[in-house]
Structure 1
Amino acid sequence: MWINPTYAPHDALGTAKALVDAHPLAVVITEDPLAIAHMPILWRETAGGDPVLIGHMPLADPTSKQLAAGGRVTIVFPGPASYITPNWYHSEGLPTYNYAPVHVAGVATRLGEAELREHLLDLVADHEAGHSLDERAWALDGDAHARLERLLPRVLGFSVPVTELQVKTKLGQNRDAADNATVASQLAAGDSADREISSMMRGQCPHTPS
């Protein structure tokens, strides 16, 4: 991913973690042969404090073959995106998007069964804790645990160290304060992605008042 230096965040690692935590559904891409899958990925840390991505994949998915063999993988988190109309600019402009993707590339390592089980339980807990459409957090009961155990032999767990990282936060850094103030205000009244971009603009774009 090409990144204009204007759109490179000052804290790439911290920004990436926040984006992955908020948008865990990723595009998993393996090479030779090319295979693509969409799976939720968690950002975690090793015992030594190094960031690592943890995920899983059905063994029936062709993408899993390269992961199981320790192949190179690229994981793309599209992140939030908002269309920006020139109607919101005070100065001359053209239509564009403000957006914030994360790319991580590296070599996959297969998880053992106990690590995979721990990851799947962690994944459920993580998503249920952040689910706001239902007041009750769902938890595995005996039947769900039994189903999980039956499925484990059909699932590949994998980890990818966060050593090759790219983060792009295109948030209007090339616009002036008046344009960004209007854009952020308009987006604040939009959907969840719009509101997130608005918040990121206020937090990271030097021309945007809070």
Structure 2
Amino acid sequence: MYIPASFREARSEILHAFMQAHPLGLLITHGPSGLQASPLPFLLYPDEGECGVLRAHLARANPHWQDLQGLLECLVVFQGPQAYVTPSWYPSKAETHRAVPTWNYTAVHAWGRPEVTEDAAWLLRQLKDLTEQHEQRRPEPWALRDLPDDYLAGQLKAIIGIEIPLQRIEGKFKLSQNRNAADRAGVTRGLRDGQDPHRNEAVADLVEYAGISKQL
């Protein structure tokens, strides 16, 4: 991924937190069947391996899992908030007219060697961890134990597990860090403007935070 220095995020704790906050990753491979991509909800285990370990599962009916066997490397792309940025938000545009539209976005790319498993105990643990992760904030969390045993057994037979020990992670947070303070403030105001069609509070918060971090 092309990452200018001003947009690079290399702190592992930030990258891990981003992946956990935006767990739907796009698994990309180039194997015997050519290029394939599958969006999957991943669980990150940050304290395992060199750079953490990703775990997920695919439907057995999805042929993508067969290409993972023996594959040396795969890429998982995690994307966060993103928004269009008009040059009309830049105070400098009124002075120089030297500004063009752009896009602010956040992304993390993670590489590793995928491993495939059909082990029932592994799959059960993965489903339990995944369910608990996303149900824990609900007042009455759903749990695997709510399923009839025969139904759960059938579901386990219908999926394939994936484990990816990560070897490298890169983060690109393009949040107007290449603009001056006045222009960054203009972007934040524009993204918070309730009358603007490109209003985006999530990106506004990130642009503001990136500006503060730049000053530290």
Q: Normalising by structure 2, what TM-score? A: 0.82
Q: Structure 1 CA distance, aligned partners of 2:213 and 2:168?
A: 30
Higher normalized strand content (fraction of residues): 2
**Residue 21 of structure 1: how far off its partner (Å):** 1.2
* Aligned position for 1:5: 5
Residue range with higher mean Cα deviation, 164-173 or 48-57: 48-57
CA RMSD of aligned residues (A): 2.7
In the alignment, structure 2 segments of 5+ residues that lack a partner are 94-98
CA distance in 1, matches of 2:90, 2:53: 40
- Distance in 2 (alpha carbons) for counterparts of 1:145 and 1:172: 52
Give the corresponding residue for 1:205.
211
- Given candidates 175, 196, 204, the residue that maps to 1:171 is 175
Corresponding residue of 2:75: 74
Q: Distance in 2 between matches of 1:67 and 1:144?
A: 31
Aligned residue in 2 for 1:122: 129
Q: 1:115 to 1:205 in 2, by over 3 A?
A: farther
Conserved? CA contact 2:25–2:78, under 8 Å: yes
Deviation at 1:100, TM superposition (A): 0.7
Q: Is the 8 A contact 2:16 2:46 kept in 1?
A: no
1:184 deviates by 2.0
Change (3 A) 1:103 1:207: closer
Tell me the distance in 2 between the aligned counterparts of 1:104 and 1:69.
18
What corresponds to 1:56 in structure 2?
A: 57
In structure 2, relative to structure 1, the CA distance for the partners of 1:3 and 1:115 (3 Å cut) is same
- C-alpha separation between the residues in 2 aligned to 1:180 and 1:106? 36
**SS at 2:92's partner residue?**
coil
Larger Rg: 1 or 2? Answer: 2
Do the aligned partners of residues 105 and 208 (structure 1) sit closer, same or farther apart at CA in structure 2, a change above 3 Å counting?
A: closer
Could you state the TM-score of these two structures normalised by the residue count of structure 1? 0.84
Q: Using the alignment, how far apart are the partners of 1:48 and 1:160 within structure 2?
A: 10
**Aligned residue identity for 2:122:** E
Q: Which residue of the other structure, out of 148, 152, 156, is the alignment partner of 1:148?
A: 152
Hey, what does 2:191 align to over in structure 1?
A: 187
Corresponding pairs, count: 204
1:82–1:98 Cα contact (<8 Å) kept: yes
Give the SS at the match of 1:3. Answer: coil
**Whole-Å Cα distance in 2 between the matches of residues 59 and 108 of structure 1?**
16
Matches of 1:69 and 1:202, distance apart in 2: 44
Q: Percent identity between the aligned chains?
A: 31
Counterpart contact for 2:40–2:58, Cα < 8 Å: yes
Structure 1: gaps spanning 5 or more residues = none
